[in-house]
Amino acid sequence: MRDPTAEVFATLTDVKRVWAVGAIHGDASRLRALHQGITARFQPGDRFVYHGNYLGHGGEVTATLDELLAFRRAMLRPGMEAGDFVYLRGAQEEMWQRLLQIQLAETPSEVFEWMMEQGVAATLRAYGADVDEARWRLEDGARSIARWTTSLREVVHTFPGHDELLSSVQRAAITENGRVLFVHAGLDPSRPLSEQGDTLWWGSGYFDQITEPYGAVEMVVRGYDRAHAGLAMTHHTATIDSGCGFGGRLAAACFDVNGKALDWIEV
């Protein structure tokens, strides 16, 4: 029988340590600096989890995706595979995918304005789209909206690797021994992974309820926190978000396969 969780998360195999990178929000400059720090500390058996929100808010959205792709190419060592670099879906990536299908929304204009307030405007501008033109299209009917979203997809396609990266984002990731789970922002400890749904990117309020192991999982790590409060750890949770894209710094933490924090970088 097929495992119903197989489509829910990526599994990190042959892993000794995991570098967990917090939300980036289009700040490619800090991402490059962070990558330099990680490169200097890299050890065989290291794997990488990026916790989403590559897009939105910042002014270097396309350069951020370019840097993610360039770092993976540079760091692939003998015995490593592309799957050793896991990119989680964040709220920004979720909104971006919904924007590309916004003609299906019941109230496209209302959804669009909400997305703009949440930081998606920065991603639109990064791909050369005009926000005012988008508003006009949204008032012009489903066909006009569909033509606009199609043209937007075509623009993204001109940036090498961007389509592939954004279409390969995972809902969550877990170490092969099942003891460390990586999520974007939230996790409802009362429900299994297969039933988390949008909680993974919108349910940050549940995170403080994790006060004991989540099944076999000893440590749940998230990379986005609305408070952007930096590194915060309890016995069973870790938060890595120092406010990158909101005037703060970009952070990453290194964990062993049992959830012990081994290293920390902030740039």
Neighbouring residues of 99: CB distance < 8 A, sequence distance ≥ 6: 112, 115, 120, 124, 149, 152
- Are 22 and 223 in contact, with CB atoms under 8 Å apart? yes
Using only the alpha carbons of the chain, give its radius of gyration. 18
Rounded-to-integer distance, Cα 92 and Cα 79, Å:
32
Stretch 166-177: mean pLDDT: 96
Tell me if 102 sits within 8 A of 149, measured CB to CB: yes
CB contact set of 21 (below 8 Å; sequence gap of 6+): 34, 48, 49, 50, 51, 223, 240, 250, 251, 252
CA gap 213, 235 in Å, rounded: 9
Question: For 41-84, what is each residue's pLDDT tens digit?
Answer: 999 999 999 999 999 999 999 999 999 999 999 999 888 999 99
Q: Given this model, what pLDDT does residue 8 score?
A: 58
**Residue 264 near residue 256, CB atoms below 8 Å:** no
Q: List pLDDT tens digits, range 83-129.
A: 999 999 999 999 999 999 999 999 999 999 999 999 999 999 999 99
Residue environment code for 48-70, b if the CB has 16+ CB neighbours within 10 A, otherwise e: bbbbbbbbbbbebbbbbbbbbbe
Range(s) of the chain covered by CATH 3.60.21.10? 11-90+171-209+220-266
Alpha helices for 116-191 (secondary structure H): 121-126, 131-138, 142-157, 162-167
CATH topology of domain 11-90+171-209+220-266: Purple Acid Phosphatase; chain A, domain 2 (3.60.21)
Q: Which residues pair with 156 in a beta bridge?
A: none
